[in-house]
Chain A
Amino acid sequence: MIDHKDLRPKDLGNPDQQLIKLQELMPLAAPYDKPGMEPDFKEIKDSWKEKYCASLDGFVGIDTLIRPKSKEEEEEFVGKFLNGLEKIFSDANNGVLQPLLLSFEYCAKCNTCSEACHTFAASGKNELYRPIFRSEVLRKIAKKYFTTSGKFFGSLVGADIDVNWETVARLGELAYRCNLCRRCAQTCPLGLDNSILAKEIRKIFSQEMGIAPNPLHEKGSMLQLKTGSSTGITKPAFLDTLEFLEEDIEEKYGRKIKFPLDKKGADILLLHNAGEFMAWPENPIAFAILFEEAGLDWTLSSEMMGYDNVNYGLWYDDTQAKKIALQQMRVAQELGVNRIVIGECGHAHKASAIVADRMAAAEGKIPVESCLPILWDMVRTNRLKLDPGKNNFPVTLHDPCNVVRQMGIVQPQRNILKAICTRFREMTPHGVDNYCCGGGSGFAIMNHCNFSDFRNKVSARMKFKQILGAFQDTMENSEVPKYVCAPCSNCKGTIRDILEYYQASAKFNVHFGGLVELMVNALVSMEKPFLEFLE
């Protein structure tokens, strides 16, 4: 094991059993600044070390990255990686070639990006998680094999790394220690983006080597292409779920609401993250209550790919992302709606509105928009009768990176919260300077071996610290309920996990949820609280 202070990018190929071990993490705010308030890391099992690549930092992110059984397998693995590395600079990768080449070529290694990274900060500034560490390893390998200067001058130009199974596998794992939140890119004086390089490594593994974390690939995008949803919900199951929710709405809130379904020519096709129907059905219920009360002309779709807005391809595989996005577009076209509105799911916002924007010609393409401006319009134009007094408890807002930093949707959600809550307060920092929840780019659903420990204790640590900071005035008063508003399924999942991991809900009455739940809770027409913790 190497002391992280001495760790250099070229050490990635070292034969050590484990390169570094996380020890002194960033301190948390009160009351979590006291000893014993935080669970320790789980011990890594020998069986994990034998089967997977746990030799980076003792965590396993890629559950399909299996150690080779022979020298031949090892060589084949390295060879495939190098083939893939060459391809990212070819026309197979046209869609990202210009940004990639810029970020690959021009880094001045000024290290300005490090301070922006929540994972680097949370890890106690461990060298392994410095944003340029991973990028530099990739540059070294590419220089060694694919540049004239690297072949002739070797270490003089940085081509000084041993490339073996361990190097490549560790680099693959290291690509899953970055949330792709792009906060570091905001600070780069040259406008470069380390997340592009992290994602390219993931793409090489998936698109060339066929290796990607199961929750993202087999149980994610592949399942979605097969069944219509990454949750595995099929059309009949989806219809059953809606029926159940309609009964639930009537029973709990005394309202008769029928989810509009496959309504041809509707104004709005509302696309939810299907995970909401399973984990947080109150979210689609709240949307239905608000849209009905505001009298919108909307519909859900029960068609294949029409009832799940997720697109995990965004995080690791461009070919998967394209297949999913094009099929989702087709559903909207066939329904003949005027617009697609994306529910509270950050990565789906980016996938449908930004990434898919150039996947098809504009003619005939259904425009995509976020749910947040529509929700703000409902409040602004008084189409909803709201009583902020019903939300008389501390509320803070988490900004999903995909919605805010990568789409520029900053004010609508804030305007709504200011109108419907009496005790809204911002996190520090917030808006486009926000920190990722720590679950971005797939981490929220990756729980293999001990990966959830990495998420809860490291990548989501900064977010937990921000939450504690936002509620410092009442944090230790368990009589006062506190609400973290996270208008994104992945962020919500991560925040759910950290509140549970640190027992913040049980001990300090901290809750989480979306924006629409708070809006419905504030509706004058609601006879009893919509938020369960208020009952």
Chain B
Amino acid sequence: MALAVFAYISMVLFIGITAYKARKLAQLPLHGRMELYPVPGEKGRHEYGGSYYEEAEWWKKPRELSKGTELKEMLKEMLFIKKLFENQRPLWWLSYALHLGIYFLAAWSVLIIAGAFTELAGLPVKAGAAAGTSLWAVLLYYLGIFTGVVGFALAAFGSGALFLRRVFDGTLKKYTTPQEYFNLLLVFAAVVSGLTVWGSDPTFGNARSVMAHVLSLTSFAAGPLLVLHVILVGVMFIYIPLSKMSHYVGKYFTFHKVLWENEPNVAGSEMEHKVKQALGYRPQNAWSAPHVKAAGAPAPEK
């Protein structure tokens, strides 16, 4: 029972700290413009990196924007790590293995939870050959095997290979801190401990059974390996949002709120409203160089 409670707490903390970080980043003050082209939202110009500034008297013309292209580029980056693929292929193979492994493991976790609920509802999750098995249960069964096997294999390979690359690559080694080795090792240990716990049953029937106990808050016999696995995964879930592995939060802001923001300050716009608010703010801290102090902060124009 204590193990189940710990698992719940770690998930709550993962979601809570992630949301807190996202909120803190979102609440930071309006910043100066820092677009970097190509910007995907620029309809018809994104392919070559163009923008509305290519038009004379751009402010008099309707801006042609495409949310679809922005979404497409965002998905390419999220699902395939496009920039790494294009700019550093050797590392992409390893990094993508880890990230794809994580995606598969996330899907596997959902399937295991769904399978546990299904079994709690009295429907056994089994192979299709068994008489009386529903299509839903069969899907959960086979998809669970596929996502689990692929996920564990890719995540273990990716995290292990990234760790080894940092250890043996002379350049990366110079920039890697002990904490950053620890980050990769923690992920690797969590995944490998999962492999040792669930690996003896590649159909993941045990995992569904344990999950059913966790979901129903009923006691179950946990061997030392399972205890270790749950603790490692729990610690990982709590630690990730506290570390820079929470780049899944930061990446949204770097692209959508900085590089792709592309929002000019034109009269009557929402941006103008935000600019007016930002200009009204009086900072508590001030710079000390003589030329700054002498002139004082320049008065904002309203």
Contact = CB atoms under 8 A, between A and B. Distances in A.
Give 10 closest A-B pairs by Cβ, nearest first. Answer: A408-B51, A191-B254, A432-B49, A158-B177, A92-B285, A210-B289, A408-B37, A360-B301, A207-B287, A98-B28
A387 B244 CA distance: 58
A412 B275 CA distance: 30
Interface string A306-339: 0000000000000110110010010000000001
A153 B54 contact: no
Contacts of B172: 109, 111
Contact of A188 (B83, B171, B290, B300): B83
B179 A156 contact: yes
A388 to B, nearest CB: 22
Interface string A111-154: 11001100000000001001010001000000000000100010
B254 A106 contact: yes
6 contacts: A102-B253, A107-B244, A112-B84, A156-B178, A182-B36, A353-B53
A248 interface: no
Given A8-B174, A94-B283, A208-B289, A369 B49 contact: no
A155 interface: yes
Interface stretch (A12-20, A399-407, A456-464): A399-407
Interface stretch (A22-30, A83-91, A489-497): A83-91
A404 B45 CA distance: 13
Interface in B133-179: 170-172, 174-179
Contacts of A407: 35, 37, 51, 53
A323 B238 CA distance: 46
Nearest to A185: B36
B53 A102 contact: no
Contacts of B284: 90-91
Contacts of A266: none
A97 interface: yes
A408 B254 contact: no
B17 to A, nearest CB: 14
Nearest to B301: A360
A102 B254 contact: yes
B37 A102 contact: no
Interface stretch (B63-71, B101-109, B218-226, B261-269): B261-269
Contact of B301 (A84, A329, A372): A329
Interface string B93-116: 001000000000000000000000
B206 to A, nearest CB: 35
A67 B33 CA distance: 36
A369 B52 CA distance: 10
Contact of A362 (B48, B267, B292): B267
A242 interface: no
Q: In this complex, which of A115, A369, A404 has the most chain B Cβ atoms within 10 angstroms of its Cβ? A: A369
B238 to A, nearest CB: 15
Nearest to B34: A99
B215 to A, nearest CB: 34
A505 to B, nearest CB: 31
Contacts of B247: 106, 108, 190
Interface of B: 25, 28-39, 42, 45, 48-59, 77, 81, 83-84, 86-88, 91, 95, 170-172, 174-180, 244, 247, 250-251, 253-255, 257-259, 264-269, 271-272, 275-276, 278-279, 281, 283-292, 295, 297-298, 300-302
Contact of B36 (A363, A364, A405, A412): A405
Interface in A136-195: 136, 149, 153, 155-158, 182, 185-193
A208 B31 contact: no
B278 A358 contact: yes
Given A91-B285, A110-B84, A408 B176 contact: no
Contacts of B258: 98-99, 102, 191, 193
A87 B285 CA distance: 7
Nearest to A218: B291
A341 B267 CA distance: 19
B250 A106 contact: yes
B53 A97 contact: no
A209 B289 contact: yes
B285 A90 contact: yes
Nearest to B182: A156
Contact of B37 (A157, A210, A322, A406): A406
Contacts of A254: none
B193 to A, nearest CB: 23
Contacts of B291: 210, 217, 222, 319-320
B290 A210 contact: yes
Interface string A72-102: 0000000010011001001110111111011
A431 B264 CA distance: 22
Contact of A208 (B35, B244, B259, B287): B287
B35 A5 contact: no
Nearest to A156: B178
